[in-house]
A and B are shown apart, each in its own frame.
Chain A
Amino acid sequence: MTETAHPDHQPKIELTGVHKSFGEKKILRGVNLSIGKSESVVVIGGSGTGKSVLLKCILGILHPESGNIKIDGKDVVGVRGRAKDKHLRKFGMLFQGSALFDSLPVWQNVAFRPLQAQGMKKKEARDLAIATLGSVGLSPAVGDLYPAELSGGMQKRVALARAIAAKPEIIFFDEPTTGLDPIMSDVINELIVKCVRELGATTLTITHDMASARKIADRIAMLHEGHIIWQGPKRDIDHSGNPYVDQFIHGRAEGPIRMQVRKV
């Protein structure tokens, strides 16, 4: 199960035996995953299986109980202070609900990190924000609006701009297309592919939108009941031989994955 993508290179991100629970609820039960440099991995899995929790563990927002998380070969579980700053600087993250700061205009959202954490001058930060907005197809005028004035699709694009503004080495996309219409979903997918290619970034995307997964991924992994139960190159997804994966990608109610509709 723990095959390494590029055995001759050091993986960019490497998870071994990551466990995370909330109280009695065990969410991650030994996740093993390794992502090579500039590789694009998509994790699929049902709602509430802990996909977002997985990202937050890697970022250090949540602390796993056990297991190792290595970035560039360095263990990052429980890093603090300077080391944590350095760790976070490598990342850009697109949140599930965009998570834009609604008290700030769009351009200050996009240039938040340079402006607040890196001491960039306002003028310069604004130019950077406008340029980044341009690269996700938004006009400079959008920069002066507030997030609440934008549609869901535009918010997603602003959030994407914010994630890539500081040119991170690693980008996480948490359900980038959820809640968008199919056309806007495709626009976002295209933007992700384009931005990632331009930056040469390593990416980990979470989704349950198979169209999106097929577009973005080099490799797909499926998370189920706290384990990665299958992973392989994108072309193998349709003949994985794994009944869980088959059920998921075809969206069937019948199969080995039982939705717990009776409980609660």
Chain B
Amino acid sequence: MNPLALIGHTFLEFLAATGRLGHFTSRSISHCFRRPFYWSQIGRQFVDIGYFSLPVVGLTALFTGMVLALQSYSGFSRFDAESAIPTVVVLSITRELGPVMAGLMVAGRIGAAIAAELGTMRVTEQIDALTTLSTNPQKYLIAPRLIASTLVMPLLVLIADIIGVFGGFLVCVYRLKFNAANYISQSWQYLEFRDVTSGLWKAAVFGFIIALMGCFNGFNSKGGAQGVGAATTNAVVTASILILVSNYLLTGIFFSGK
């Protein structure tokens, strides 16, 4: 094919996909705020997305905090700035690494699971069956996942923050022989409320992105097992990229002053 035509075709395809996603997003959000609400579905998603992600997110946060302390030490000890390590750890974790690492891990776990589940429901006609049973599939399947994921991610990230900071603490105190009481007081010293809240806002946005990409790809998948596989991959890849991009944009918004 003519390369120019190919570029043009790809660009148009991209615009069309963006339009479809926009339409899907606005409809899905409006379903989140209109009755009926499927409370048991929402509760179930809270457990699936939040509770069962705890081990993965906790481990990720722990090791991220630990390696952060180790790396900072090897860098900062070159110019006797070890005392800055607690601050570096706590700020990096709460502002960036907590939400981003948790977001990426949950995107892999939940984005994929949502896409595979909805994709399978699509190809086995379960979504059509919902319609024939007088139940709006967007309301029953998508709204609960969006609501639960958006609300539960900040909680997960708060826990990840605590575990991550604790990981840094472990390395510094037990391996690098810092004084424990000093480490804790230094951690608090420069920490501001909004360092934590900005991370939690990010987490909510990431949670929304993860569920949205899982739902969009799964709900619109077609063509049997292969289609479901493609939907799953797309859900994880697009969610991860959107998390990284929106993370940059949100950081710009939150900390534009300094």
Contact = CB atoms under 8 A, between A and B. Distances in A.
Contacts of B129: 93, 95, 99-101
B14 interface: no
Contacts of A85: 134
Interface stretch (B103-111, B120-128, B190-198): B120-128
Nearest to A168: B132
A35 to B, nearest CB: 18
Interface residues of A, number: 23
13 contacts: A56-B128, A59-B128, A61-B128, A88-B133, A88-B134, A91-B132, A92-B132, A93-B129, A99-B124, A99-B126, A99-B129, A112-B135, A117-B133
Q: Which 8 A-B pairs have the closest CB atoms?
A: A117-B134, A99-B125, A99-B129, A113-B133, A93-B132, A95-B125, A99-B126, A112-B133
Interface string A189-215: 000000000000000000000000000
Contacts, number: 49
Interface in B108-162: 121, 124-126, 128-129, 131-135, 140
Given A116-B38, A116-B140, A89 B128 contact: no
Interface in A74-93: 85, 88-89, 91-93
A136 B134 CA distance: 23
Contact of A59 (B38, B121, B132, B140): B132
Nearest to A97: B124
Contacts of A56: 128
Interface in A93-118: 93, 95-97, 99-102, 112-113, 116-118
A116 B135 contact: yes
A97 B129 CA distance: 11
Contacts of B133: 88, 112-113, 116-117, 162
Contact of B135 (A92, A100, A117): A117
Given A95-B125, A96-B125, A101-B126, A61 B131 contact: yes
Contacts of B140: 116
Contact of A99 (B38, B128, B134, B135): B128
Contacts of A91: 132
Interface of B: 38, 121, 124-126, 128-129, 131-135, 140
Given A97-B125, A113-B135, A118-B134, 20 more contacts: A59-B128, A59-B132, A61-B128, A61-B131, A85-B134, A88-B133, A88-B134, A91-B132, A95-B125, A96-B125, A99-B126, A99-B128, A99-B129, A100-B129, A101-B121, A101-B129, A113-B134, A116-B140, A117-B135, A162-B133
A93 B209 CA distance: 35
Contacts of B135: 112-113, 116-117
A96 B125 CA distance: 9
A93 to B, nearest CB: 4
Contacts of A59: 128, 131-132
B215 to A, nearest CB: 15
A116 B125 CA distance: 18
B136 to A, nearest CB: 9
A162 B126 CA distance: 13
Contacts of A61: 128, 131-132
A89 B134 contact: yes
Contacts of A113: 133-135
Contacts of B126: 99-102
Contacts of A99: 124-126, 128-129
A184 to B, nearest CB: 20
A75 B235 CA distance: 39
A96 B134 CA distance: 19
Contact of A88 (B38, B121, B125, B132): B132
Contacts of B132: 59, 61, 88, 91-93
